[in-house]
């Protein structure tokens, strides 16, 4: 029994030691972080003696150095370096670091050089030495270690070298080393791209991007290869330089005799990034391969979508081009038919007919034909019916529109389509001046499960709540009749009508309505809203000079109001991107940071300001 009892007692003692040891670890780090280095040194020494962990030893030495106990630190480092001379040269680095902190640079260099020269062809030992140099920010010696390791092992250690160069921000060698990895093992291209990704995304001045691009170009000229070209395309896409990426992709597609998948991918990325012209260029290249190309349908619909987005954003305003797109839609649906997979294109086709060509009858026929198509599921049906309601409202059939929305709502309770239908009903009430009923519906929608609907409902609800209960009519104002469900506020009724015109792409009418608020209702709290909406309309028409005037007026004259930060941001962005006025851009980005630090535009404003400052 006695041996058994002894074992049990030993185990219990060992188990009880674990919590104590763990407590000591936490306490040691706590002392260190609180700069109580004497207390931390004692605990780290104890922890090292128990575990022989190099990490604890490094902390122990640091504590001694911070309290200027140089002799004690030197003695401890010498002892470990001597004890591990044949097995672990990394302790010589600790000793060298101790010497360096005392200004004994010759002795420090001797220890560092000795650690490198005593390397053994053992990967683990090499990595330990490298990491120890990096711990003390001796990046040059970390590089020497890995280059020496190449000689004695035959391994390239490129991944480790990349980390060393990244630590010292040696962008040129980072670029070269990453490409060396790809050159040796092309299948590692995605890993290397991931390694580069962080530095590209956080490279404010594009320094690393420019070096990497230059290095890639040199390699392509010296040794043309598929993987270098692929990396160049990837790099250009990272900076959203889709135009150049497409040029490279076309060349690679032709050289390899590909079917266009690469161009489809870039087209999709350009479309998502709102570079619609580049997207159209990529898709049209694939279209030219003919109907036998497996990506023909994707290219067809991609071309339609990118052209539609160009019209919607104001990039294309020429009526002949709009009519050309109409004909392309007609031909496409004759080829591919109407089905649930093309619902987005059907909706866009109907919007072109309604809002750009003023052909709501044709748009309604398109929607009704799509609704009769085979295999139309509930979500497609709901989407199309919502569009039908919008067309009916555009035609002035308010009651029919409300009935269409109500049907979608009843058929889709507790889902996003039901929420959207309810919001559109409330929006119709807002457009037609029935603010009280609209407000009651919007209050319910604030809790909608669909975040976008909830946000839109909140924004519109606040607008009505702030402006619907004021008696501010002026003599001769007959903009709308006030029923028992309507509150007064002629300025809000005019603003709602302008909002409706803007949504329906009747921009000239929208501006006339907004001008009547600005000139007739000069004291209305909606004046800044009217100015801001005018700025948005002019920006959509690419009239950036005029848009900038209105954004700036809102930012300057209404700095206390809710739109001020938004106006600052859009004015700064236009000044930066379209007016070649970086000084004004910096001024208004900084105003957001100083006056509206909680703004949703603060983060991007900070990034853009730093980029303009070159920091």
pLDDT of residue 271: 96
* CA 198 to the chain's CA centroid: 13
User: Is the Cβ–Cβ distance between 491 and 524 less than 8 Å?
Assistant: yes
Separation CA 54–CA 580 (nearest Å): 56
Separation CA 392–CA 20 (nearest Å): 76
Q: Would you say the pTM of this structure is higher than 0.85?
A: no
**What average pLDDT does range 34-45 have in this prediction?**
89
Separation CA 457–CA 522 (nearest Å): 27
pLDDT of residue 86: 82
Separation CA 390–CA 367 (nearest Å): 11
State pLDDT tens for residues 315-331: 999 999 999 999 999 99
As a CATH number, domain 526-613 is: 1.25.40.10
How many Cα atoms occupy the beta-carbon half-sphere of 205 within 13 Å? Answer: 6
Per DSSP, 36 falls in state: -
User: Is the Cβ–Cβ distance between 90 and 118 less than 8 Å?
Assistant: no
**DSSP helix, strand, coil percent of the chain (3-state; round to 5):** 75, 0, 25
Helical (H) or strand (E) element with 339: none
**What average pLDDT does range 38-52 have in this prediction?**
89
How many Cα atoms occupy the beta-carbon half-sphere of 343 within 13 Å? Answer: 20
Q: Which residue has the tokens 């003692």?
A: 13
How many Cα atoms occupy the beta-carbon half-sphere of 123 within 13 Å? Answer: 5
Judge whether residue 579 has pLDDT over 60. yes
Q: Do domains 69-168 and 526-613 have the same CATH topology?
A: yes
Separation CA 212–CA 583 (nearest Å): 30
pLDDT of residue 483: 44
Give the other-Cβ count within 10 Å of 84's Cβ. 15
pLDDT of residue 478: 35
Separation CA 14–CA 28 (nearest Å): 21
pLDDT of residue 446: 87
Domain residue ranges in the chain: 69-168, 416-516, 526-613
Separation CA 245–CA 189 (nearest Å): 17
Lowest mean pLDDT among 9-23, 218-232, 363-377: 9-23
Helical (H) or strand (E) element with 509: helix 507-520
pLDDT class for 614, splitting at 50, 70, 90? confident
As a CATH number, domain 69-168 is: 1.25.40
């Amino acid at each position: 029994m006695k041996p058994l009892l002894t074992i049990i007692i030993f185990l219990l003692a060992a188990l009880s030691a674990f919590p104590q040891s763990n407590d000591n670890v936490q306490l040691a780090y706590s002392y260190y972080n609180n700069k109580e280095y004497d207390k931390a040194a004692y605990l780290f020494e104890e922890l090292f003696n128990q575990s022989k962990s190099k990490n604890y030893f490094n902390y122990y030495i640091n504590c001694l150095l911070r309290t200027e106990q140089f002799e004690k630190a030197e003695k401890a480092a010498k002892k470990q370096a001597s004890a591990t001379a044949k097995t672990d040269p990394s302790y010589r680095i600790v000793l060298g670091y101790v010497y360096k902190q005392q200004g004994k640079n010759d002795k420090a260099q001797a220890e560092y050089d000795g650690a490198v020269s005593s390397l053994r062809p053992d990967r683990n030992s090499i990595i330990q030495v490298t990491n120890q140099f990096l711990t003390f920010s001796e990046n040059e010696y970390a590089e020497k270690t890995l280059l020496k390791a190449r000689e004695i092992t035959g391994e390239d250690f490129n991944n480790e070298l990349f980390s060393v160069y990244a630590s010292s921000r040696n962008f040129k060698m980072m670029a070269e080393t990453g490409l060396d990895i790809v050159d040796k093992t092309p299948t590692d291209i995605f890993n290397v791209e991931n390694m580069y990704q962080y530095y590209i995304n956080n490279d404010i001045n594009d320094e690393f991007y420019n070096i990497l691009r230059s290095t890639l170009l040199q390699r392509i000229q010296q040794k043309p290869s598929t993987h270098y070209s692929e990396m160049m395309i990837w790099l250009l896409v990272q900076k959203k330089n889709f135009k150049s990426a497409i040029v490279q992709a076309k060349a690679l597609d032709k050289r390899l005799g590909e079917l266009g998948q690469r161009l489809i991918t870039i087209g999709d990325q350009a479309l998502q990034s709102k570079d619609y012209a580049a997207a159209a260029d990529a898709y049209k290249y694939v279209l030219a391969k003919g109907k036998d190309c497996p990506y023909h349908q994707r290219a067809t619909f991609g071309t339609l979508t990118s052209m539609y987005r160009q019209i919607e954003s104001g990039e294309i305003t020429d009526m002949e081009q709009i009519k050309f797109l109409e004909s392309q839609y007609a031909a496409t649906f004759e080829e591919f038919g109407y089905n649930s997979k093309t619902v987005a294109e059907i909706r866009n086709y109907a919007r072109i007919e309604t809002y750009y060509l003023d052909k709501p009858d044709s748009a309604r026929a398109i929607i009704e034909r799509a609704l009769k198509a085979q295999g139309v599921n509930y979500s497609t049906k709901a989407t199309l019916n919502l569009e039908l309601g919008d067309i009916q409202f555009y035609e002035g059939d308010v009651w029919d529109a409300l009935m269409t929305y109500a049907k979608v709502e009843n058929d889709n309770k507790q889902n996003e389509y039901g929420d959207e239908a309810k919001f559109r009903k409330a929006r119709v009430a807002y457009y037609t001046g029935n603010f009280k009923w609209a407000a009651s519906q919007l209050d319910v929608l604030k809790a909608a499960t669909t975040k976008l609907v909830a946000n839109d409902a909140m924004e519109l609800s606040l607008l009505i709540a702030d402006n619907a209960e004021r008696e501010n009519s002026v003599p001769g104002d007959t903009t709308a009749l006030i029923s028992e469900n309507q509150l007064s506020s002629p300025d809000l009724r005019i603003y709602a009508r302008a909002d409706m015109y803007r949504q329906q792409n009747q921009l000239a009418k929208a501006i006339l309505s907004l001008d009547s608020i600005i000139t007739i209702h000069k004291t209305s709290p909606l004046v800044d809203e009217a100015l801001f909406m005018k700025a948005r309309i002019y920006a959509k028409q690419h009239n950036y000079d005029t848009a900038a005037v209105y954004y700036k007026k809102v930012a300057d004259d209404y700095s206390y109001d809710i739109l001020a930060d938004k106006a600052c941001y859009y004015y700064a962005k236009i000044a930066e991107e379209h007016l070649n006025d970086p000084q004004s851009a910096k001024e208004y980005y900084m105003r957001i940071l100083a006056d509206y630090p909680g703004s949703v535009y603060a983060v991007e404003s900070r990034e853009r300001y730093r980029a303009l400052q070159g920091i």
